[in-house]
Every structure is written in C-alpha cells, then in structure tokens.
Amino acid sequence: MKTIPTISRRDLLKGLGSVSIVLATGRSAWPAIGTGPVSFLDVAGAAGITFRHDNAASSEKYLIETMGAGCGWIDYNQDGLPDLYLVNGAATGAYRPQGPRRGALYRNNGDGTFTDVTTGAGVGAEGLFGMGVAVGDYDNDGFPDLLVLGYGRCILYHNDGNGSFIDVTAHAGVENSGRWASSAAWFDYDNDGKLDLVIANYVDWSPEHNFYCGDRGPGMRSYCHPDDFHGQPPTLYHNNGDGTFTDVSKSSGVGLKGGNGLGVVTFDYDNDGWQDIFIANDHMPNFLFHNNRDGTFREVGYMAGVAVSADGQFEAGMGTDAADTTGSGRLDLIVGHLDMQLARVYQNMGDQTFEDATLRSKLSYSTYHMSTFGTRFMDYDNDGWRDLFMANGHVLDNIERYHADTKYAEPKLMFRNTGRGIFENVSDQLGPDFQLPRVSRGAAIGDFDNDGDLDILVSNNGQAPQLLRNDGGNTNHWLEILLIGTKSNRDGVGARVKVSAGDLVLYDQRKGGMSYQSAQDPRLHFGLGQRSRIDAVEIIWPSGIVTKLSNLKSDQIVAVKEGTGIVERPFPRVSLK
C-alpha cells in the first residue's frame, strides 16, 4: 500500500523492460467453452447479512483505519454448507463508538440465507482491531478452528465441535503480541501431519507515533506512507502437537528480516513436496522463502525473480495468490498493487525461477488506475482455465483531491483466461452488482450454495460486505474435492492434485493463505468445460501417499480420505428461497 498523495511518486513506472514470451505446454487442446452467460448478483442483504465494517475513521488518520479487514469461509459445524466470518475494527483513542464493535460469524441455513450466530459461538473478538482471518484444523479433530488477526495481537478460537468456540490464545502461545498482523496461512512446513502457522506482519505504527502526513489545509491530511515506519518480520509458529505452538521465526530463517507484509500464500513452487512461503510486501521487495526440508527456509525472492518487477522496481504488494494459469503443472503468482503500478503476474518457469509475464498475459495497464487488495485465481465460468478476480479500493479517502482520475471506491475486476495464461478483461460483462464501486479489501472465494460455480465474498472498508452469487458458471461441468488427511494434516494442506478429463489436464494444490487477510473455501474446484466425466484424479499427499481415482462423473462434490479414497460426506445443494 502506497499512501503519499503526490503526483511524482518514487515508484511511478518508467517502463517494464523486456519480458520474454514463453508459452507453456501441457495440454493437447484448449477446453471447450460453454455458451451460457455468467453474472454475479449481490445477495448479502437478501441472505440476512446485516454486518457493516467499522474502520474507526477519524480526523487523526490512524494508519489502521485504511487497511480494511478480511473475510472467510468456515464450515464450523461440518454440515457441508460453508459458513462465513467477517472481521471488524474497534474503538481507538480517536474514535469512540456508542457500542462495542465485534466480528460476525454467520451460519449457512441451506436455503440461501444466513443467521448471525456470533454470540452463541463466542467468536466476536470484541476489543480487537481486527485485520485478517485464517481457518485451519490445527489439532486434527475434524472441526476447523478460527484465527482472527489484528493490530497488536491475535486471537485463536478452538472449535469445540458443538457450535461454540473457546479462546485458547494464551495456552496455544500464538498471540503475536506487539505486532501488527495482517494475513496468515495455516500450512505444514515440516510434513509432520500438523498445521503450523505463518503470519505476515505489517509495520510498527502506533497511535503515539502518528505523524501528520499530507498537505496542510482543510481535508488535506492523509494516511502516512509505510516508509515512515519500520517493517516487522514475519512470524512462524511450529505446532507442537499438544495444543501449543513454538515461535521458530528466527531459528527457521523466516523472521530474520523486517518486512511490510500484507498478503501471504504457501505453495510448493518447485514441486518437491514441501510447501514454500510467498509474502507480498508493501513498498519493499517481496519475500519468497524456499523450504530447505530441514525445518529452515532461505529467502530467494530476488534469485527467483518475484521480489521486484521486470524493471527492478519494488511495489506496493498487497493481495496474492498462486495457480497454474498456463497448463504447465507449475503454479504462477499474482501480486496486487496500488494505482499507478500494475498487478504483476509471475510465470513459473520450472527451474526455480519466475518471469514477469504481466505484459504477455495482457493484464498490462488494465490495473494501472486500480488499487488491488483481495485477489484470487478462480475458474468463474468452469471452462477449465484459471481466471483472475481482483477486489479494489484506494487507501486515501481524499485521493481525488490529488488525482482527479483516481477514485476511493473502485469497481472489481475479472480477467478471463482465454488460454495458456492470456487474460481478457470481462468485468463489464458480469452484471451491474459486480461493477459497483466499493472500498474493497478482503476477498474469499467459495461455493456457498454447493451448485458447482464459485461465489465471491468481499469485505469493504467502512462499508457493508458483498456476497456475489455466481449465476451461470455451472453451465459448464465441474468437480470439487474436499481433502481429508490421515497421516498428513487433516486439511490436506500441501497436497498436489492432478485431474484428467479427455484432452483436459488440470493441476492444483491445497494452499495456505491466499488473497488478502481472508480464508478460502477449503475445497479444490475444477472447471471441466463440456466434459461430463473425469478419467482420473491423482492426489499426492504431504506424507508421500498417493491416492488414485478413476472414472468419476462430473458435477459433484467428493470427499477424498488419505489412504481410503472417496468417503461419504454430505454437501447439500442450497435451495434458494
């Protein structure tokens, strides 16, 4: 996030340099494309979601006011219906609301509506100035647990399996005290079958060091630039297997250097069976931590080509995700940035390096006037190619005083993958709700109605959230897979999956983190185009066990248990009122 309101910014792009054009291979034919149109309808209000985010906006321009908050999917009662969680702000020294502010857990009723169950579940995080949310079954008991990240501390809620949670932060030892936590990822970095935790921390801002930034004059004060503060190193917690965690940030090599961390995704970029860590840093080089497979990591961002842009500029890294966009079987990266920069696509070359493919991908200048926070690869039309969604909103509420062509509230973007990592901007084809300008931050992708196409939950800074229901994406065929680890961690994080259907071959991984401050639907989603059957599914679990399935019908959600195969699990189709 960049925040200096001046036209001549230090990171104004001066050219992207040369970008090699490399077309990855791996598919014998492009997927067939369905004929039905896709649109997104905001059903938050109709679904009974009355939550409104409070960012504690004040004339003091506290930096925490502009960062927004995340959102997430969590099937907390394990009924096969994704429930949702929304993070909230809190009172500050400059802002005193009439009543307490708290986050909200909404239960999916299975009929298109949601019920606020926050009080009964005990997950309001009252008094915490919340930032992000991360979901993972850290004790492998079959019920997902909830981590709420915030300024100054985090809260870990253990899911008791009876509809309620208990605050176990102190016992677990994951408070992350004194740090400004932004995004987090549950992942198993040592493949011992237990989920560990990495947290991307931001800067050391405090109300006591809240400088005046911007020009002098009425309405001209602005939020300060992150360079005015020291960056905070990431935190890595190792799961001890007894409900407690050990801070191994320094001994692992992850916490040796300060960063301005905002987004995190864990994925196996070199396909060696061990998850690596990518952190998008704000106005400084990004981090890529390569897993040394001995409990330690080495930071290789520059060597791998993902620390900076093709012309050597570090940018305002915010949201991030990884996916195979070219059919190569290797996961590429997306990093969202502030306006007057470009969202970056880094293509995985298969030799432990990436190439800045922003121009080749044809994203290029479509994002130049946008500030992208939540971002996810998703196959919104089920044609078999990973498309790209971006939730946007500027960081300065008075940006138009400085840049007349830049807005505080911005529309969302969708780029359709037309084949092998070449994207087309189709944002204006997805309905009026999709195009409504909002000050968007977190974005969580999930199939809340279990109909086979991906819906989008967006948290908006100081505004109501949006639940964008996908209408028409399931015109094409699809498959969703819920992984259940046994020897591996129960969530299956780190598993690598290959799906073959005729001439279509798809690859994905069960990743950690993703987007910005948000938690994603844990089920892996595969669009199949016009293919009605799946020839084969191969799952390589973190333990090394391989599960192979064959001759599956499409248009279903399956649960696959490590060492067993498909097991019975309800995923009721939502019957809309």
Angle at 225 between CA 223 and CA 231, to 5 degrees: 125
Per-residue pLDDT at 22 exceeds 90: no
End-to-end CA distance of the chain: 41
When the pLDDT of each residue in the chain is averaged and rounded to a whole number, the result is 92
Tell me the mean pLDDT in the region 437-462: 98
CA distance 514 to 332: 13
pLDDT the model gives residue 36: 54
In single-letter form, the type of residue at position 250 comes to K
Which of the four pLDDT bands, split at 50, 70 and 90, describes residue 363? confident
pLDDT the model gives residue 34: 39
CA distance 184 to 442: 13
pLDDT the model gives residue 172: 98
Least confident of 27-31, 37-41, 505-509: 27-31
CA distance 412 to 392: 6
Least confident of 16-25, 67-76, 406-415: 16-25
Per the document, the length of the chain is: 577
Considering only residues 225 and 334, tell me which one the structure prediction assigns the higher pLDDT. 334
Q: What is the DSSP letter of 120?
A: H
pLDDT per residue as tens digits for the range 458-487: 999 999 999 999 999 999 999 999 999 999
Tell me the mean pLDDT in the region 409-428: 95
Which of the four pLDDT bands, split at 50, 70 and 90, describes residue 563? very high
Q: Which residues contact 433 (CB under 8 A, 6 or more apart)?
A: 40, 41, 42, 466, 468
Tell me the mean pLDDT in the region 499-520: 98
Per-residue pLDDT at 434 exceeds 90: yes
- Produce one character per residue of 391-410: b if its CB has 16 or more CB atoms within 10 Å, e if not: bbbbbbbbbeebbeebbbbb
CA distance 250 to 234: 9
| Cβ pair 472, 39 in contact under 8 A | yes
Closest by alpha carbon to 527, among 483, 573, 480?
Answer: 480
pLDDT per residue as tens digits for the range 69-114: 999 999 999 999 999 999 999 999 999 999 899 999 999 999 999 9
Phi/psi region, residue 434 (left: phi>0; alpha: psi -120 to 50; beta: rest), is alpha
Per-residue pLDDT at 6 exceeds 50: no
pLDDT per residue as tens digits for the range 145-197: 999 999 999 999 999 999 999 999 999 999 999 999 999 999 999 999 999 99
pLDDT the model gives residue 14: 29
| Strand 39-42 versus strand 154-159 pairing type | unpaired
User: Which residue is listed with tokens 């990495």?
Assistant: 198
Per-residue pLDDT at 19 exceeds 80: no
pLDDT the model gives residue 399: 84
Phi/psi region, residue 340 (left: phi>0; alpha: psi -120 to 50; beta: rest), is left
Closest by alpha carbon to 412, among 11, 23, 42?
Answer: 42
pTM, to two decimals: 0.93
